[in-house]
Structure 1
Amino acid sequence: MTAGIDHLTTSGTFSLDGGTWEVDNNVWIVGDGTEALVIDAAHDADAIERALAGRRLSAIVCTHAHNDHIDAAPALAARTGAPVLLHPDDLPLWRQTHPDRAPDGELADGQELTVAGTRLTVLHTPGHAPGAVCLYAPELSAVFTGDTLFAGGPGATGRSFSHFPTIIDSIRERLLTLPPQTVVHTGHGDSTTIGAERPHLQEWLDRGH
C-alpha cells in the first residue's frame, strides 16, 4: 500500500536576528497505518504525537533549522525513539535553539528515505538557509519544500544565513524541473503545484533586484 500524507498546523513563534514573530507552521506526516515519517516537528510535540496515532515513527526530518521548524523535534524524538535528521550546513542555526542536543543523523543531497514502501529523495536547496532541503516523493506526486518555495514565490532571504540568488538557483534547478503536476507542500500556508509556480520565475527575479 502506498503511503498517504497527513497534515496538521501548529502555532508558536519564530525568532532570528533579535526579532520574534507569531507563526503557524505546517507539519507533514508521510506514512501508512503502521509507520510514519514527520517533516518539521514544529512547536507542539503533543499534537504531533496524537496525529501519529500509535504509528511507529521512523524519522523526524528537518527541512531546515529555523527554530519554528525544529523546536519540538527533541521532545518528539525522546517520546518515540525516532532520529532527528538535518543537513549539516544548518548546524549553526540548530545550535541557536538546541545548544545541548545535536541531531541524530545527517541529510545529504540525493539521499533516499523510505517509509511505508514509499521513497522520498532529499534535494539540497540552500538559500533560505544553508542546509535547507526539500523532499521529493514521486509516487505521491508531492514535494515537501519547507520554506524554500511557497504558493506565490520563494521563501524569505532577508535575514542571517540566507541569500536570494542562491534560493532562486535552488528553485530553478531543483524544483521547477519536477513534473508540473507535482503538489508543493509548504512549511507555511497553502499548498500549490510546480506548474502553478513555474511561470512566475521571471517575476521573482525582477522582485529580487
Structure 2
Amino acid sequence: MDTLIHSLRDITIRRISVSEMDNNVYLLTSKESGAQLLIDAADDLAAIQGLLTDAAADTSATPKLALIATTHQHWDHVRALPGLVAATGAKTAAGTDDAAALPVPVDVPLDHGNIGNFDGFDVTAVHLRGHTPGSIALVYQDPDGPAHIFSGDSLFPGGVGNTQKDPVRFAQLIDDVSARLFDVYPDETVVHPGHGKPTTLGAERPHLKDWRARGW
C-alpha cells in the first residue's frame, strides 16, 4: 500500500490507518532536511516504523523524527506512543490540558497559536476545546497551495467530534471549530481527521448551521 497522500513543494505527507478503530497516523517529512513530524502514534508500532521507512524515499537527507505530536489524550490515539518514543528518542508534544493524561512525559505542551519550527517547515497548533479539554489541531500552510489541518477527533466529514451529548462541551467545540478553523481558513483547506477519510472546509462549511441545530 502506498502511504504517500501528498507531495507538496517542501514536504511530503504520508498516512496509515491502524487498529480496529481506523485511527490515522500522519507523517510530515521535509524534502530538504529530512526533519519529520509524526501526528498520533495511535497503534501498531511495526506499521508506524514501516511508515518511517517509507518516508526515507522522500528526502535526500537522513530522515530524523523530530517530534511526535498527539492531538488528544484518548487511549486509541496513544497506544504506540511509549514504544515509538523508546525506539526513536523523539520528543513529544500535546495540548497543555491533555498532557498529564498521556502515557509518556510531554516535552512540548501546546497552547492555541503555538508554532512548531522544524527544519524546512512550520506547523501551528489550534486549541479546539470540547472533545477533550486539551484537544489540538495542527495546521501546515503549504506555500504553494491550501493549508492542511490535522484535526484529530475534533472535526470530521459530516460533523464535529463526540462530546457525549453534553451541550456545554458541544457548544464549546462547535464555537472553536467555527471561529478557529472555518473563520480563518478558506474553502480549499484540506482536513485530515483522526479517523476515516479526508475532507475540505468548503465541503463542510454549508452544514455548520445544521450541526449546531442538531446539537452534535
Normalized against structure 2, the TM-score is what? 0.83
5+ unaligned residues in a row in structure 1: which ranges?
12-21
How is 1:24-173 mapped onto 2 (pairs within 5 angstroms)?
24-33=22-31, 34-53=34-53, 55-91=63-99, 93-94=101-102, 98=103, 101-139=104-142, 141-158=147-164, 163-173=169-179
Task: Please report how far the alpha carbon of residue 32 of structure 1 lies from its aligned counterpart in structure 2 after TM superposition.
Answer: 3.1
Whole-angstrom CA distance in 1 between matches of 2:125 and 2:178: 16
- Residues 93-115 of structure 1 show CA distances to partners (whole Å, capped at 9, x for unaligned) of 43xxx2xx322221121111133
Whole-angstrom CA distance in 2 between matches of 1:159 and 1:71: 26
Whole-angstrom CA distance in 2 between matches of 1:29 and 1:165: 31
Count of aligned positions: 193
Matched-pair identity in %: 40
CA contact (8 A) 1:31 1:115 kept: no
Task: Please report how far the alpha carbon of residue 92 of structure 1 lies from its aligned counterpart in structure 2 after TM superposition.
Answer: 5.1
1:207 counterpart = 2:214: yes
Letter in 2 for 1:182: T
- Residues 55-96 of structure 1 show CA distances to partners (whole Å, capped at 9, x for unaligned) of 2100000110101111211211111111111112113543xx
5+ unaligned residues in a row in structure 2: which ranges?
1-8, 57-62
Three-state SS of the structure 2 residue aligned to 1:163 is helix
Task: Please report how far the alpha carbon of residue 35 of structure 1 lies from its aligned counterpart in structure 2 after TM superposition.
Answer: 2.4
Runs of 4+, deviation exceeding 3 Å: none
Task: Please report how far the alpha carbon of residue 197 of structure 1 lies from its aligned counterpart in structure 2 after TM superposition.
Answer: 0.8
Normalized against structure 1, the TM-score is what? 0.86
Three-state SS of the structure 1 residue aligned to 2:22 is strand
